[in-house]
Each structure stands twice: as structure tokens, then as C-alpha cells.
Structure 1
Amino acid sequence: MQGALFDLPETPPEHAVIARFQLGGDGLGESDQWSRVFEAERSMDAAVAAAGVGEVDGNEFGGGEVVIFAYGPDADALYRVMEPGLRALPFRPAHVVLRYGEPADDVVSERVEL
């Protein structure tokens, strides 16, 4: 019983789906681009939550692009749920990085062109 209080289950490594879309110009994009991203993000967040595969964690605008971040225990499952929403965004070029584990130099990742 001595170690029973400290035998916590190991948390699985967090995987990520990181999507990058090129916007017009070098800045933050335009308001109609922002609203399309926010709408797609809300839709993907609802689908991800309903599927129980993780969470859409937000976005970052700047440098002529937008990056959408999502995290969960299985990058492939997370991407399958998000893929229709990601492909529906019209901004190109665009790609997604599936990261299989915590950020580190030796973590496996895969790039998918949209």
C-alpha cells in the first residue's frame, strides 16, 4: 500500500495537428479571411469534441499566414475529424503537420499538403 497513492496512470504523449494557410499580403490577412477561419475553427472544434479525439486549441495570425492548432492523444484520429473543415478553407498554399508526440527534436511528424 505504500506506493499505491503514487501509482498514477501514465499520461499518453500529446499529439498535434498544426495547419498552416497562406493569406493575402504579409500581415494579418483581411477581415473576411479571419471570419472564415473562425467559422471553420468553431465547426472543427465541435466535431473534434463530439468525436472525443482532442481539442482545437486556437490560431495564430501573422506574417501573411494563419496557423490552427489542435491537440489530442492520436494525431491521425484528430486529423480525420478535422480534414473536411481544413480542406474547405480556400487559402493556399496550405499544409498540415501531424506530430506524433510531445514537441522534441526526435518526435515523428508527417506533412500533408492540402
Structure 2
Amino acid sequence: MDTLFDLPEPEMPEQAVIAHYRLSDDEYGSCAEREAIFDAERAMTVAVAKAGVGEVDGNEFGGGEAVVYAYGVDAEALFKVMEPTLRNLPFRPAHVVLRRGSRETESRLDL
């Protein structure tokens, strides 16, 4: 048996789209704000899966901010699918971080 061909294929580096939204208070935002984030997250989960560009991995609330995380092999392709929903959320200020590997390769886009 030739073990050279049994090596695992190298993994593509994971890239990320991280969306940040300022909420109405210094804690977790209102119930309506949280529900809007959850609804948007569900919509993006379906769109991202359908496009086959990665996965929406969850959210985080606290300190007056909501953050939504998504990962895939191409941050730009992932953002392109998520962008309409991200821009439709009314909370401002808001921005998205596109991370292409390490923190040194990330860029920030205002929404």
C-alpha cells in the first residue's frame, strides 16, 4: 500500500464575516432588537447554505452590541450573500469585519 495517497487533503484557511450592531442600551438591547437579529440570522443561515459559501455560526449580545458570526473559505463571497440582510437591519452605527485568515488580513466596512 502506498501511504503517499492516503494523506489528508490540506484544509482551506477559514475566513470570516463578523457583523457588529450598536443596540439601544448598554446591555443586550430590547426584546424587539434581539428578535430582529435572530430573524436576520435565520434568513442568512438559509441563504448562505443555499449558496454553499459557508455557515452562519451564531451571535453574541452584550455591552450594547449584537455581533453575528459567519465562516467560509471566501469572506467576500460569504459577505455578498449576507449583505442584503445585514444592510436591512436598522441598528446603527454598524460595521462588518471581513477576515481573510489572520487579523492582519481583515478589513472593515461600514453598513
Query: Which TM class, normalised by the smaller chain length?
Result: over 0.9
1:108 counterpart residue number: 105
Aligned match of 2:4? 3
Q: Which has the higher helix share?
A: 2
Deviating above 4 A after TM superposition, structure 1's stretches of 4 or more consecutive aligned residues are: none
Give 1:3 deviation, angstroms: 2.6
Q: Offset of 1:2 from its aligned partner?
A: 3.2
Tell me which residue corresponds to 1:89: 89
The one-letter code matched in structure 2 to 1:50 is K
Query: CA–CA distance in 2 between the matches of 1:113 and 1:34?
Result: 21
| Offset from partner CA, 1:46-104 (integer Å, 9 cap, x none) | 00000000000000000000000000000000000000000000000000000001xx4
Distance between the aligned counterparts of 2:86 and 2:3, measured in 1?
50
Q: CA RMSD in A?
A: 0.9
Q: Which runs of 5+ in 2 are unaligned?
A: none
Please list every run of 5 or more consecutive structure 1 residues that lacks an aligned counterpart in the other structure.
Answer: none
1:33 aligns with 2:30: no
The offset of 1:110, in angstroms, is: 0.8
Per the alignment, residue 59 of structure 2 pairs with 59
